[in-house]
């Protein structure tokens, strides 16, 4: 049996040297050579995949032109998307419509800020006095909006949504309601809004005003936090409703057992 203590002066290095003498027999090398030949032949006929060539390509230093091309492409893309457009040169501050009529200011300001900021990324907080071509039908206080103190291109860009918003004020009530309640309507309703003309509204009987009341109630329910547009709608609807109602009542006449209506 093994008796380690019987040995004299054996170090770890001596012990590890034992591994050096662990050698295979000469027959092993004959077999080794034969197998190696077979493997070499197999490797020669075996089709190599493209990724095996990658180190060769890297070794040939194609990465220098390839890297240069990649940098060029990246630079071009960066320049392409970073060239500031004329609108983009504007300070990133959103315009705020200044108008004397608070009702007018509320609705278009929201729309304008949304539309302009969605396109140019503006922030709210700066007064921009739009010099949009205000339609003649607008009230005098709206037409008196001062001119922009910005370049003409910027004026056009800012004024476009303003004009669109202001012109909405002159839309029929049905369109106004649709614009205000559009988000709350179902998709088909938004796609095909009911087109009610002024004459149709005027021809409504007092009983049909219940529809307006329902709409007004619906608008009162605050589904989203602090909706500003429904307040405008309510105000305008109430104003128009009062006019319609007073007008309708004055046209009703009772003669004996007959009720007459004036149109």
Partner 1 sequence: MNLSKVFTRTAITTPERQLEADADLVVVRQVQAGDVASFDRLIVKYRERVFGVIYNLVANREDAADLSQDTFIKAFQAINRFQGGCSFFTWLYKIAVNTTLSHLRKNRMRSFFSLEKLSEEGGNAQIIDQLTDKRGADRDTYLRELQEKLNEALQKLSIPHRTVITLFEIDGLSHSEIAEVMACSEGTVRSRLHYAKQFLQGELGKYLNS
Q: Which residues bind partner 1 (CB under 8 A)?
A: 1-2, 4-25, 28-29, 32-33, 35-36, 39-40, 43, 55-56, 59
- Residue closer to partner 1 by CB (options 28, 74) is 28
Please enumerate in sequence order all residues whose Cβ is within 8 A of that of 88, keeping only pairs 6 or more positions apart, or say none.
Answer: 120
- Residue closer to partner 1 by CB (options 4, 256) is 4
- Residue closer to partner 1 by CB (options 10, 223) is 10
- Residue closer to partner 1 by CB (options 36, 71) is 36
Rounded Cα–Cα distance for residues 39 and 162 (Å): 79
Rounded Cα–Cα distance for residues 121 and 71 (Å): 29
Q: How far is the CB of 9 from partner 1 (least distance, A)?
A: 6
Given a contact cutoff of 8 angstroms between Cβ atoms, the answer to whether 122 and 95 are in contact is yes
- Residue closer to partner 1 by CB (options 44, 79) is 44
- Dihedral angle computed from the Cα positions of residues 252, 255, 260 and 263, in that order, rounded to the nearest 10 degrees: -60
Q: How far is the CB of 19 from partner 1 (least distance, A)?
A: 5
The backbone torsions φ and ψ at residue 85, rounded to the nearest 5 degrees and listed phi first, read -80, 170
Rounded Cα–Cα distance for residues 199 and 203 (Å): 6
- Residue closer to partner 1 by CB (options 58, 194) is 58
Where on the phi/psi map is residue 256: left (φ > 0), alpha (ψ -120 to 50), or beta? Answer: left
Please enumerate in sequence order all residues whose Cβ is within 8 A of that of 168, keeping only pairs 6 or more positions apart, or say none.
Answer: 107, 108, 111, 175, 176, 179
Q: How far is the CB of 12 from partner 1 (least distance, A)?
A: 6
Nearest CA to 145 among 180, 101, 82, 209? Answer: 101
Q: How far is the CB of 75 from partner 1 (least distance, A)?
A: 33
Q: How far is the CB of 225 from partner 1 (least distance, A)?
A: 59
Q: How far is the CB of 54 from partner 1 (least distance, A)?
A: 12
């Amino acid at each position: 049996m093994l008796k380690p203590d019987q040995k004299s002066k054996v170090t770890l290095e001596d012990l590890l040297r034992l591994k050096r003498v662990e050698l295979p027999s000469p027959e092993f090398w004959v077999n080794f050579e034969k197998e190696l030949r077979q493997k070499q032949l197999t490797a020669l006929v075996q089709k190599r995949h493209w990724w095996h060539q990658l180190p060769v390509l890297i070794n040939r230093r194609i990465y220098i032109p390839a890297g240069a091309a990649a940098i060029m492409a990246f630079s071009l893309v960066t320049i392409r998307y970073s060239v500031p457009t004329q609108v983009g040169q504007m300070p990133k501050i959103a315009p705020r419509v200044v108008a004397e009529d608070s009702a007018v200011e509320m609705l278009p300001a929201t729309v304008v800020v949304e539309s302009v900021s969605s396109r140019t990324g503006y922030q709210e907080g700066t007064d921009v006095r739009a010099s949009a071509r205000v339609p003649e039908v607008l009230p005098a206080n709206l037409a008196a909006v001062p001119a922009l103190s910005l370049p003409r291109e910027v004026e056009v860009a800012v004024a476009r949504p303003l004009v669109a918003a202001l012109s909405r004020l002159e839309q029929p009530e049905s369109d106004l309601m649709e614009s205000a309640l559009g988000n709350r309507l179902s998709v088909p309703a938004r796609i095909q809004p009911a087109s009610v003309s002024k004459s149709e509204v005027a021809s409504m009987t007092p009983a049909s005003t219940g529809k307006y009341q329902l709409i007004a109630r619906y608008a009162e329910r605050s589904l989203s936090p602090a909706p500003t547009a429904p307040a405008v709608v309510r105000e305008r609807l109430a104003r128009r409703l009062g006019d319609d109602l007073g007008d309708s009542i004055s046209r009703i006449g009772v003669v004996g057992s007959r009720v007459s209506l004036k149109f």
